[in-house]
Amino acid sequence: MVRTLYVTSLVPHSGKSLVSLGLMELLSARVARVGFFRPIVGAADGDPSLELVRSRYDAGGSGRVRHALTEAEASALPYEEVRRRVLEAYKRLEEDCDFVLCEGSDLTGGTPALAFGRNADLANELGAPVLVVVTAGSADEAEAGVAAARGSLTHKGCDVFGVVVNRVPADRVEAVAERLSAAAGDEPVFVLAEHAELGRPTVADVAGALGAKLLSTPADGLHRQVRELRVGAMSVEHFLEQLVPGALVIVPADRPDVLVACLASALSPTLPTVAGVLVTGGYPVAESVRALVEAAPFPVLSLPTLTHVAAVEASAVRPALPPGDERRIATALGVFDAGVDAAEVERRLALDRPARLTPLMFEYELVERARRVSARIVLPEGADDRVLRAADIVLRRGVAALTILGDPHAIRARASALDLELAEAELVDPATSELRERYAARYHELRRHKGVTEDAAYDAVASPNYFATLLVEDGAVEGMVSGAAHTTAETIRPAFEIIRAREGISVVSSVFFMCLADRVLVYGDCAVNPKPAPAELADIAISSAETADAFGIAPRIAMLSYSTGESGRGADVEAVREATAILRERRPALRVEGPIQYDAAVDPDVASVKLPDSEVAGRATVFVFPDLDTGNVAYKAVQRSANAIAIGPVLQGLRRPVNDLSRGARVPDIVNTIAITAIQAEAGRA
């Protein structure tokens, strides 16, 4: 029987879309085929919840994200016919799902009580237990809201799964949770904190609600949050005095002086950075200013309406959770994760751990495990925008504590310009840090046998990668992630010199986690060792198997070559054959096959012909390449041709974790690598 859950709310604007997002994140990591169903939506196209879930969890277009009716269609039908059509649409979706999450219709019309009653009826029609969302500003309001929600659902004959109390002021969450725990019923009650950013619209929200034309759209600019509105109707000097960070400036098109002042504010570290500019009045922007506007580092919108009308309309825009706004999505998931006991939800939904690890499941596990670890990771590349954007997401999700290296003033200014929140990060400048003298002495001690003088050591530790590595060695942080703006050699050389390999490890190596459409594979070594000897190849295989196992991937090792089994001869094949023999002797419990060709390692049909009795052939999960040339070419070919996500290189064998990024790394790659480093740090503690 397909399992299901119905999310609804007792009051309008409760934040039930945040709850649905958090549940979809959890379910997608536990269930192979998750459906998302909205019985009734405002419009067939453009429903925010459907768009968000479809973009984030249904990239393959499975068709498991659906609705039954629009509000207009539902209002034109008899109530019983509405219920019948909703049930029919749900049943069609159910046929292709293992779990269906339902999100009820919104309560934004004139009769919220009737809409709530309809949601309760539809939940009963679908046989779905109900998770109801209420809002509260105090413990008294929360207690009353929970009682009202339970009573209303019980009166309608619903199976109450639980209650979420949302939008509780952060300083009252603990008091509310204590009050509700004292009056706990059979079903759980979760308390979520109010987050200011989730209550503010973005420039994209304003543009969409007002139908504004875009004159300038810098990367990620539309996702800037609008903290306040400012009308640019006064002289420039007084306008700048009233400007605040994150303001959406509403200015008539015939005030180019104010437009230029907004542009100037983005270039000055002492002036607030605006979220965007809304040009009103319908007049064309002066040609002398248009080129500046089109190159603005923030979004510039245009409306033909009068300034005061645009200001009123903009002030009424409500925020949404749009697809692609990773910062806001990370904030929402961070709020959900902090307030909802995922283990309790899993237990009550009877979710089993999946036998097969998909990429979405793997990435979810990375974040969840990293959050539990609470490690501090150092990022040496504070001048790279991608690193700062990733740091913002990591802090919002609570993935790790961060130390970022660079000029603190420059980092704060750049974070402000990018609308990032890095207040919780520790910012350190290696050149001026009080630790520089001590770290220089330590580096000199470690490397003087190689001819490093005291002066050279003092200069070396001003380098962000050397300083960061010494922070790791000193225990001030538990891991390091670098490489977005440095070569692999520049990232890992300090680690080899300072941290060095674990005892019993003859060679430090690397792996990539290759996230394919339906599974996650481990490739090693694709980044460090050019031509490993057979014993080193065996060591790489052992380390790669340990890494795979640590991240929930059952290791079945394929020692790759251009020949399978006994079919080929040659120096390269013999080296792989020797490495396989060494591996079997050193770790007889590991499942390994080699030499083996890639097709025989992954394709069961090929394996049945070439190695019919092998327990690895056709189902390998760990792939050990014979040399760096082969491994690097292979991982990049798979990454680009199969549209796979390659996470890594993840270094293995060091005493403490240091991980390298590709210089083409995207923000999600950096986030994942930080999570991996935090998990490795946990193993280091043990």
Give Cβ neighbours of residue 545 (< 8 Å, ≥ 6 apart): 555, 557, 587, 590, 622
Residue 389 has pLDDT above 90, yes or no: yes
Q: Are residues 28 and 157 in the same domain?
A: yes
**Using CA atoms, how far apart are residues 362 and 354, in angstroms rounded to an integer?**
11
Encode burial over 573-593: b for 16+ CB neighbours within 10 A, e otherwise: bebbbbbbebbeeebeebbbb
For the chain, give the number of residues: 686
**Using CA atoms, how far apart are residues 553 and 358, in angstroms rounded to an integer?**
10
- CA distance between the termini of the chain: 42
Taking only the tens place, the pLDDT of each residue in 211-250 is: 999 888 776 678 888 999 999 888 888 888 888 888 999 9
CATH code of the domain containing 436: 3.40.50.10950
59 confidence band (pLDDT: 50, 70, 90):
low
**Using CA atoms, how far apart are residues 334 and 238, in angstroms rounded to an integer?**
39
Q: What tokens appear for 436 in the block?
A: 């520089």
Taking only the tens place, the pLDDT of each residue in 508-533 is: 899 999 988 778 999 999 988 999 99
The pLDDT score that the predictor gives to residue 353 is 64
Burial of 316 (0-12, 13-18, 19+ CB in 10 A): exposed
Mean pLDDT of all residues belonging to the chain = 89
Q: Are residues 132 and 40 in the same domain?
A: yes
Taking only the tens place, the pLDDT of each residue in 529-560 is: 999 999 999 999 999 999 999 888 999 999 99
3-class secondary structure, 162: strand
DSSP string for residues in 444-478? HHHHGGGT--HHHHHHHTTSHHHHHHHHHHHTSSS
pLDDT, average across residues 167-190: 87
642 confidence band (pLDDT: 50, 70, 90):
confident
Residue 450 one-letter amino acid: K
Residue for token pair 């089109």: 294
Taking only the tens place, the pLDDT of each residue in 326-350 is: 888 999 999 999 999 988 998 888 8
CATH code of the domain containing 516: 3.40.50.10750
Q: Are residues 563 and 461 in the same domain?
A: no
3-class secondary structure, 181: helix
Q: Which helix (H) or strand (E) holds 331?
A: helix 326-339
pLDDT, average across residues 566-582: 87
> Of 451, 482, 513, which residue sits at a domain end?
482
**547, 511, 539: which is closest to 649 by C-alpha?**
511
Q: Are residues 215 and 179 in the same domain?
A: no
pLDDT, average across residues 574-589: 94
Q: Are residues 448 and 573 in the same domain?
A: no
Residue 197 has pLDDT above 90, yes or no: no
Taking only the tens place, the pLDDT of each residue in 298-318 is: 899 999 999 999 999 999 998
The pLDDT score that the predictor gives to residue 223 is 85
Q: Are residues 366 and 307 in the same domain?
A: no
The pLDDT score that the predictor gives to residue 106 is 78
The pLDDT score that the predictor gives to residue 355 is 61
441 confidence band (pLDDT: 50, 70, 90):
very high
Q: Are residues 475 and 536 in the same domain?
A: no
Q: What tokens appear for 460 in the block?
A: 């070396």
The answer to whether position 353 is within a domain reads: no
The answer to whether position 325 is within a domain reads: no
Residue 370 has pLDDT above 70, yes or no: yes
The answer to whether position 678 is within a domain reads: no
Q: Which helix (H) or strand (E) holds 213?
A: strand 213-216
Residue 22 has pLDDT above 90, yes or no: yes
Angle at the Cα of 325 from the Cα atoms of 478 and 43, rounded to 5 degrees: 145
The pLDDT score that the predictor gives to residue 462 is 93
The answer to whether position 670 is within a domain reads: no
**Using CA atoms, how far apart are residues 157 and 44, in angstroms rounded to an integer?**
30
Q: Are residues 119 and 158 in the same domain?
A: yes
**Using CA atoms, how far apart are residues 105 and 44, in angstroms rounded to an integer?**
13
Q: Let me know: does 524 contact 624? Beta carbons within 8 Å.
A: yes
For the chain, what percent of residues have pLDDT higher than 70? 96
Q: Are residues 182 and 168 in the same domain?
A: yes
DSSP string for residues in 7-75? EEESSTT--HHHHHHHHHHHHHTT-SSEEEEEEEES-SS--HHHHHHHHHH-TT--S-EEEEEEHHHHH
**422, 429, 364, 352: which is closest to 391 by C-alpha?**
422
Q: Are residues 112 and 258 in the same domain?
A: no
> Of 197, 228, 251, which residue sits at a domain end?
197
The pLDDT score that the predictor gives to residue 311 is 92
The answer to whether position 632 is within a domain reads: yes
**Using CA atoms, how far apart are residues 581 and 141, in angstroms rounded to an integer?**
69
Taking only the tens place, the pLDDT of each residue in 484-510 is: 888 888 888 999 899 988 887 788 899
Q: Are residues 77 and 217 in the same domain?
A: no
Residue 642 one-letter amino acid: A
**Using CA atoms, how far apart are residues 513 and 676, in angstroms rounded to an integer?**
10
Residue 26 has pLDDT above 70, yes or no: yes
The pLDDT score that the predictor gives to residue 284 is 83
The pLDDT score that the predictor gives to residue 270 is 78
The pLDDT score that the predictor gives to residue 184 is 66
**Using CA atoms, how far apart are residues 605 and 612, in angstroms rounded to an integer?**
9
Q: Are residues 132 and 245 in the same domain?
A: no
**Using CA atoms, how far apart are residues 361 and 30, in angstroms rounded to an integer?**
7
Give Cβ neighbours of residue 539 (< 8 Å, ≥ 6 apart): 505, 506, 507, 509, 532, 653
Neighbours of 43 (CB within 10 A): 10
**42, 363, 516: which is closest to 51 by C-alpha?**
42
Q: Let me know: does 231 contact 425? Beta carbons within 8 Å.
A: no
> Of 282, 315, 348, which residue sits at a domain end?
315
Tell me the pTM: 0.82
pLDDT, average across residues 407-418: 89
The pLDDT score that the predictor gives to residue 10 is 85
**Using CA atoms, how far apart are residues 51 and 47, in angstroms rounded to an integer?**
6
CATH code of the domain containing 59: 3.40.50.300
The pLDDT score that the predictor gives to residue 626 is 94
Burial of 117 (0-12, 13-18, 19+ CB in 10 A): middle
The pLDDT score that the predictor gives to residue 522 is 96
Three-state secondary structure of 485-527: CCCHHHHHHHHHHHHCECCCCCCCEEEEEEECCCCEEEEECCC
Q: Let me know: does 69 contact 82? Beta carbons within 8 Å.
A: yes
For the chain, what percent of residues have pLDDT higher than 90? 56
Residue 354 has pLDDT above 70, yes or no: no
2 confidence band (pLDDT: 50, 70, 90):
low
**Using CA atoms, how far apart are residues 143 and 147, in angstroms rounded to an integer?**
6
The answer to whether position 586 is within a domain reads: yes
The answer to whether position 673 is within a domain reads: no
The answer to whether position 229 is within a domain reads: yes
Q: How many domains does the chain have?
A: 4
Taking only the tens place, the pLDDT of each residue in 447-465 is: 989 988 999 999 999 999 9
Give Cβ neighbours of residue 23 (< 8 Å, ≥ 6 apart): 5, 7, 101, 131, 345
**H-helix segments, 268-325:** 287-294, 307-315
Distances from the Cα of 171 to the Cα of 177, 192, 378, 574, angstroms: 11, 12, 30, 66
Residue 165 has pLDDT above 90, yes or no: yes
The parent domain of residue 380 ranges over 359-482
CATH code of the domain containing 302: 3.40.1390.20
426-428 β-sheet, strand order: 426-428, 401-405, 376-379, 479-482, 658-660
